[in-house]
Amino acid sequence: MKSKFTWIFTLLLAFFIQFSFAQERTITGVINDSQGMPIPGANVKVQGSTAAGVQTDFDGRFAIQASTGQKLVITFVGMKTQTITVGPSASVPDVRMEDDVTVLADVVVEGYRNSTRPLSNIAVTTVTAKTIEGRPNASFIQTLQGQIPGLNISTGSGQPGANSTVILRGYGSINGQVEPLFVIDGVPLNSDNFRSLNPNDIESVSVLKDAGATAIYGNRGANGVIIVKTKRGSFNSALQVKYNGTTSFTEMQNNKYNTMNSRQILGLEKTKGNGYGASLTDQQIAAFATNTNWKDVLFRTGVSQNHVLSLTGGGENISSFTSFGFFNQEGILIGTDLKRFNFRNNLSGSSKDKRFNYGTSLTINYSVRNEASNIGTGNVNINPVLGANQGVPYISPDMYTTSQGILDMYQADPSDPNNIGAGTLLLSPLMQLDIVKKGTLKTDELKMIGNVQGSYKLTDELTLAGTFGSDYTQAVSTQVQDPTSFNSLLFKQNNELYLGWQAQSFARNITFNTNVNLNFNKTFGKHTNDASVFSEYLKAHTQGFNYTQNGLDPKVFVPGNGAGFIPFNTATPQFYLPEVAAGKGTAGLFSYFATADYDYNQRYGLAVTVRRDASYRFAETNRWGTFWSVSGRWNIDQESFMQGSPFTMLKLRASYGTTGNQNIVGSSIFAGPNLSRTLFTQGTGYFLQPSYIVSQLGNPDLKWEISKQADIGIDFEMFDRRLRGTFDVYRKTTDALYQGKQISAINATYTIDSNGGSLQNQGVEALLSYDAIKTNDFTLTLNFNGSYNQNKLLDVTNADNFRDLGNQADDEGGQLGQFYMIKYAGVNPADGNLLFYTKDGQLTETPDQSKDRVLTGKSPIPVYQGGFGFEANYKGFGLTTQFSYVAKISRIDYDLEGLQDPTDIGVFNKSTDLLNAWTPDNRITSIPSLFLTNKGQDANSDRYLRDASYVRLRYVSLGYSFNQKMLEKTPFSGLRAYFQAENLLTFTKWRGWDAESDRGADQYQYPTPRILSLGLEVQF
């Protein structure tokens, strides 16, 4: 009986033990890296389970439902996959993940394929989402500034959504495309307009620099390639919801112009005997109360909002990333702003046997931008930047009542001293206020980028793949001069009853790109071979039309609407005549190419690329171009003699190859479609008879601009990867430059577009990162990048090897576009006039404006550029700084010229510099006499050519990430709050609002702002 009871008891005990082992319960644990630092975002999943896994929090902790005996699979990018078995405890031992050399070695994007850093032969720099997302810039391009050696980014406008100029390794063309090719998720873009795209969607940006990387892009790779990868979901991961929101305040940066207050300018006018101050006594000037700072009137502190919601997750065979974004940025100039709505969905999937893989990317974006008109011009009645810079402070914005009121003041009797500004442009700030209140300059843009890609493994070594992508942009621009505005009233003609005008334009561009390729990859012992053949076809279409309606009925007119249009009347043929135009075009490229990559034992590598391109732009005899490259590497760290060295990676690489530029006219693929053809148009011939005349003399010999580039580089990692870096030396030469060639006037023109001349860029680049401190609680990483680029014209096609461009010139052996000006000598102490040097070095007050110009050796193209900063983290706190610098660059400061010009005292405000003007008692000074007689002689001089070098605190961020213990009783899996600033401080000799510009001269431009932001990042 006892034995029977014992048997039954044993059976029950076994049953309960089995039940307890099979019962699911919460299992917790911590995931760390090889240094013992917690890993946030690692995926933890029960092996064989169909349920979604979980992700670790900021402290590397996780909690998952599992049973004893089940296995947990832990994955994280750059780490080896770990598998642990659940025991009877409610927690598992801390997991320390190991670096996966084949992944961690950093995935390198090589155009049409990916590699790893040790196995890559090319010069490439990658920036990840960590340094892009959350920043308050309308375009992601602006966030790259100062982060990539050799990449010069300048944004010459503070207009929200303004384009930047992007130059990689110097200017590679005179008249053609000079910016890199941009590729987003495999779709090449026709332009660098990114104001409608959401920077928070970006996973990484890779900049391909040398011929080994860019030759595979052939006809579009001459200026480098920038590849943008957007975020995608992870397989076998739980749904993760993330919100990122920022509120920003934008304000104008400071300048050093030192403009006068009311009493100072009125006193100066009295001294000069011109203007309102000349009619006042000293006592009246001393008691003058009105003191308007027009900068504060026409500019403002803008408030911006940026909200992004993303959802990420995936199962065993499919993953997705979806995001929604809203961005609203007020410009610092009143009346300007940018609103943007974004949607993105990226899908990745595979068949159950993993032989078929596919992916889709789709983004739909809509933006509305309000701009100020005539920025950068001297249109004093329109450009508000001019008024902010030079508006006299003794008139008040309260003087503005109506448009008619301004007209009455302007047309008042100027002989009456009480009519301040009558008949002059002194009232221009009020005119600009009227434009801001009543004018319209708006652009609505719809931009969609889509891509579908798929691949199928025919065998273990052979894969067939294809992609199809499209870039669609539609823009509607509306500009209105209100019928009741000051300008409409001012320019009203006799018998004109209805004033004002509305101009609208519609443009639609769509590009299709198709690529089919076959890849072979196989390893034979220590030998690995990877080879691919490709065929690619691009087709682009553009269409647009525009109209201008003259004459609007103010009672019913609404900007952008047709209500209020006044029909043409034969009784008044000079009025209300509409203007219309339309156009369309196509462009196409066809290519086939191949690439082969060989690796021996991860020690030596060799790659070859050959590409054959055809462009629609050239005649059949020159339609095809062939481009190629050869690159190689030596992984020195893999050699036996490197054992025991401090290097964890040391690689020497080199490349040489050719690339082409078929965009020989500007940046658009549609520009210059018929340059090889002689074109005719309607005109007037002999005896005023209608005739056909030559409008363009064609050149059937036009061909590609060809760039040849050599590069030698070293990549290294030392001291257990704490010190990492890259050094490159390069030389790039562009031949067959597209430019005008002088011909006999017997052809009815003096020049013909042709290929000729040569341009060279050579330089050095460096990129360094050092983990100065690396403990469990505190890390500090220092970083630096810099580049030196020497630009030189090797061959100028003109007869005298010299091309006169006005204040700039192209001289053989010199820098592209260097300043060509009369040398300024200072102020003549004898009479206060301006002094100059003749070409022969003699002093004169009246230089020859043409013959006395000399090459200055100065250029608006920088020689040095780069950035530096640090990233520090301590127990949840994070501080990041990023400085950028540009050196040995010069530009002309026409804003300063206007503020120091004494000839229009009484109309515009001036700098306090003029208080030190030459007088018989003040002969040694840099400011000429208020009564100088040769002011116009400095028009072509270098008097206002200034050093525009600068060092800028481009970005600083301070944040705190809440640990998991603080969030235990909240629905959040992660929470971070942060403060950040853009353009916080600038150190420069440049006196203007902004030292940064992509122009050789600045005059009344929209300055870039300082941006202060507060942000919150929440994860569920």
pLDDT digits (tens, 9 = 90+) for 475-507: 999 999 999 999 999 999 988 899 999 999 999
pLDDT of residue 75: 79
pLDDT digits (tens, 9 = 90+) for 358-411: 999 999 999 999 999 999 888 898 999 999 999 999 999 999 999 999 999 999
| Residue with the two structure tokens 């010299």 | 802
Please say if the pLDDT value at position 964 is more than 90. no
**Predicted confidence band at 195 (pLDDT cuts at 50, 70, 90)?**
confident
pLDDT of residue 773: 93
Please say if the pLDDT value at position 841 is more than 60. yes
**What is the rounded CA–CA span in Å between residue 190 and residue 689?**
43
pLDDT of residue 56: 79
Please say if the pLDDT value at position 1 is more than 50. no
Strands 202-208 and 124-128: antiparallel
**What is the rounded CA–CA span in Å between residue 707 and residue 586?**
26
- The amino acid occupying position 634 is W
**Predicted confidence band at 47 (pLDDT cuts at 50, 70, 90)?**
confident
687 CB neighbour count, 10 Å cutoff: 6
Higher pLDDT, 140 or 59: 140
The answer to whether 112 and 591 are in contact (CB under 8 A) is: no
CATH dotted code for 6-96 = 2.60.40.1120
pLDDT of residue 41: 67
Q: Which two tokens stand for residue 80?
A: 């080896």
Side-chain-side CA neighbours of 13 within 13 Å: the count stands at 6
The answer to whether 663 and 682 are in contact (CB under 8 A) is: no
For residue 545, report the phi and psi dihedrals to the nearest 5 degrees. Answer: -150, 160
pLDDT of residue 761: 97
Q: Which two tokens stand for residue 837?
A: 């040097």
Q: Which of 415-424, 746-755, 761-770 has the lowest mean pLDDT?
A: 746-755
pLDDT of residue 52: 60
Map residue 344 onto helix, strand or coil. strand
* Sequence-ordered list of residues with C-beta below 8 angstroms from that of 336, at least 6 positions apart, any chain: 159, 160, 330, 370, 371, 372, 1006
Mean model confidence pLDDT for the chain: 89
pLDDT of residue 106: 64
pLDDT of residue 25: 79
8 CB neighbour count, 10 Å cutoff: 10
**Predicted confidence band at 118 (pLDDT cuts at 50, 70, 90)?**
confident
| Residue with the two structure tokens 């993953």 | 319
For residue 135, report the phi and psi dihedrals to the nearest 5 degrees. Answer: -85, 145
Please say if the pLDDT value at position 5 is more than 50. no
Strands 679-684 and 647-661: unpaired
State if pTM tops 0.85.
Answer: yes
As a whole-number percent, the residues of the chain with pLDDT over 70 amount to 95
Cα-based distances in Å from 848 to 624, 836, 839, 857, 903: 49, 10, 9, 20, 21
Please say if the pLDDT value at position 536 is more than 90. yes
**What is the rounded CA–CA span in Å between residue 455 and residue 451?**
14
- What order of strands is seen across the sheet that includes strand 1001-1002? 945-947, 890-893, 1001-1002
- The amino acid occupying position 132 is I
As a whole-number percent, the residues of the chain with pLDDT over 90 amount to 66
- The amino acid occupying position 952 is R
pLDDT of residue 9: 43
Report domain extents, the chain: 6-96
Instruction: Of 683-692, 696-705, 844-853, give the range with the top mean pLDDT.
Output: 844-853
**What is the rounded CA–CA span in Å between residue 726 and residue 397?**
56
Average pLDDT over residues 703-722: 94
